[in-house]
């Protein structure tokens, strides 16, 4: 039997408050608690709570025939604990069914894999601990890197940490004539399996669902079932990877997205030879068809499927470079608040807000940014970072004085 693998990314960054030059050296609280809380509450009402309830119903209805996978960033889990314990409870219920898989990622939803192996490993371990703590000792077996960023080298790092599989984008420029609907393995460490996102079908749901100018609007379960039946029989896995906030937040309830999901499993069971699996089930069942060669990093963002949403312009490179210069200093300091701020400052969203690509994908960038312009985002971030650097230096001086 062929299979559909649903994976949902659940993430919220800690957004910075407006932090002025005059605050440097004085104000050490960087986070916009009010904004972060209100976003969390809004998305909880519009997406997390209703969608979790819907998924729980489906899992119960099909007694395990239907299953899904989540990856939750550490910054999301921290905010869930602070602002939305009701959401935490509903996720815990889902995991308890045994038909929900959780993935491991970096705690801070960071881009550390591109810069520092030690920091990357650190972030992965912290995330593991957090999952264990919140979900009754759960131990993830599959890894997903921030923004599905992947390369041969990153894959090798993931394999070294003992993971069976990882997820990434089925980017056209790496696949060429190949299909994303197979299991592949890493080019350096073949024991690491690689699942590729079918971006056509994923984005039909995640991006195009409510778009009335789309030729295939409205997307119905009949139509979707027809499309997956058109996939050649030899192709066994369809990976539908998307942001969890697709449901109710990016695609409002009024678009009918909840109805679509509610009826999709039934249509799949009735009219196709597909079932549903989680990533670790897929790699246990389906043998890899070959190596996938990814010499330079890819991601799931924008038309280019590269890193340019977060890195590449001077604002981003300057901020990113200055941030990771601090790793050594941070590691010398034993202080919970420093460690927390260091983690939250690494979140990819901060660099995403500094993106100046105004062509093609500029719209989606500005939609997600709390800033008026990438320049505002940069200034605010650098002001905060300047204060953070001062704190690091002071702490180190203090520790040296004690010793």
Residues annotated catalytic, as ranges: 147
Q: Given the complex with another protein, which of 246 and 316 has the nearer CB atom? A: 316
Q: Which of 60, 96, 273, 373 binds another protein (CB under 8 A)?
A: 373
Residue 249 sits at the vertex; the CA angle it makes with 244 and 254, to the nearest 5 degrees, is 120
Measured from the CB of residue 244, what is the shortest distance to another protein in angstroms?
Answer: 33
Contact status: 24 vs another protein (CB under 8 A): yes
Q: Given the complex with another protein, which of 24 and 286 has the nearer CB atom? A: 24
Site residues for another protein, 262-321, by CB under 8 A, read: 313-315, 317-319, 321
* Residue 5 three-state SS: strand
Q: Which of 132, 375, 398, 399 binds another protein (CB under 8 A)?
A: 375
State the Cα–Cα distance between residues 149 and 155, nearest whole angstrom. Answer: 10
Site string for another protein, 25-64 (x = CB under 8 A): xx--------------------------------------
CA torsion, points 352, 357, 359, 364, in degrees to nearest 10? Answer: 10
Contact status: 396 vs another protein (CB under 8 A): no
State the Cα–Cα distance between residues 248 and 95, nearest whole angstrom. Answer: 21
Site residues for another protein, 320-339, by CB under 8 A, read: 321-322
Contact status: 136 vs another protein (CB under 8 A): no
For the range 245-249, what are the long-range contacts, defined as Cβ-Cβ under 8 Å and sequence gap of 24 or more?
245/10, 245/43, 245/47, 246/8, 246/205, 246/206, 246/209, 247/47, 247/50, 247/51, 248/43, 248/46, 248/47, 248/50, 248/51, 249/43, 249/46, 249/47
Q: Given the complex with another protein, which of 31 and 320 has the nearer CB atom? A: 320
Contact status: 359 vs another protein (CB under 8 A): no
Contact status: 379 vs another protein (CB under 8 A): yes
Q: Given the complex with another protein, which of 16 and 267 has the nearer CB atom? A: 16
DSSP 295: S
Q: Does the CA dihedral 225-227-230-235 come out positive or negative? A: negative
Distances (CA, A) of 368 to 1, 110, 242, 321: 39, 17, 16, 23
Q: Given the complex with another protein, which of 205 and 354 has the nearer CB atom? A: 354
* Contacting positions for another protein (CB under 8 A): 20-26, 313-315, 317-319, 321-322, 373, 375, 378-379, 382-383, 385-386, 389-390
């Amino acid at each position: 039997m062929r299979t559909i693998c649903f994976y949902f990314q659940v993430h919220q960054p800690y957004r910075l408050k407006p932090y002025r030059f005059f605050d440097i050296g004085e104000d050490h609280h960087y986070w916009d608690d009010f904004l972060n809380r209100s976003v969390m509450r809004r998305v909880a009402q519009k997406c997390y709570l209703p969608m979790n309830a819907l998924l729980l119903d489906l899992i119960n209805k099909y007694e395990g025939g239907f299953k899904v996978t989540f990856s939750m960033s550490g910054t999301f889990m921290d905010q869930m604990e602070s602002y939305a314990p009701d959401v935490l409870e509903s996720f815990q219920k889902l995991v308890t069914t045994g038909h929900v898989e959780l993935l491991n990622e970096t705690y801070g939803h960071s881009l550390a894999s591109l810069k520092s192996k030690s920091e990357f490993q650190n972030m992965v371990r912290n995330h593991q601990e957090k999952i264990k703590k919140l979900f009754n000792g759960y131990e993830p077996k599959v890894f997903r890197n921030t923004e599905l960023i992947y390369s041969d080298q990153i894959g090798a790092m993931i394999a070294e940490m003992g993971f069976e599989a990882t997820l990434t984008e089925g980017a056209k420029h790496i696949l060429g004539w190949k299909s994303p609907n197979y299991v592949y393995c890493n080019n350096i460490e073949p024991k690491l399996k690689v699942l590729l996102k079918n971006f056509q079908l994923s984005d039909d749901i995640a991006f195009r669902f409510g778009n009335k100018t789309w030729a295939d609007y409205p997307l119905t379960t009949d139509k979707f079932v027809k499309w997956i039946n058109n996939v050649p029989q030899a192709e066994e896995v369809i990976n539908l990877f998307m942001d969890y906030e697709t449901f109710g937040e990016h695609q409002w309830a009024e678009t009918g997205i909840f109805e679509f999901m509610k009826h999709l499993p039934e249509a799949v069971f009735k009219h196709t030879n597909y079932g549903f699996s989680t990533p670790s089930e897929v790699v246990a069942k389906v043998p890899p068809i070959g190596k996938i060669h990814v010499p330079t990093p890819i991601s799931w963002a924008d038309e280019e499927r590269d890193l340019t949403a977060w890195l590449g312009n001077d604002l981003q490179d300057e901020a990113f470079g200055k941030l990771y210069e601090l790793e050594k200093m941070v590691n010398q300091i034993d202080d919970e608040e420093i460690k927390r701020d260091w983690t939250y400052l690494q979140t990819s969203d901060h660099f995403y807000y500094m993106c100046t690509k105004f062509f093609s994908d500029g719209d989606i960038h500005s939609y997600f940014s709390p800033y008026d312009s990438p320049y505002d985002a940069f200034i605010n971030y650098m002001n905060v970072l300047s204060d953070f650097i001062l704190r690091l230096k002071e702490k180190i001086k203090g520790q040296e004085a004690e010793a």
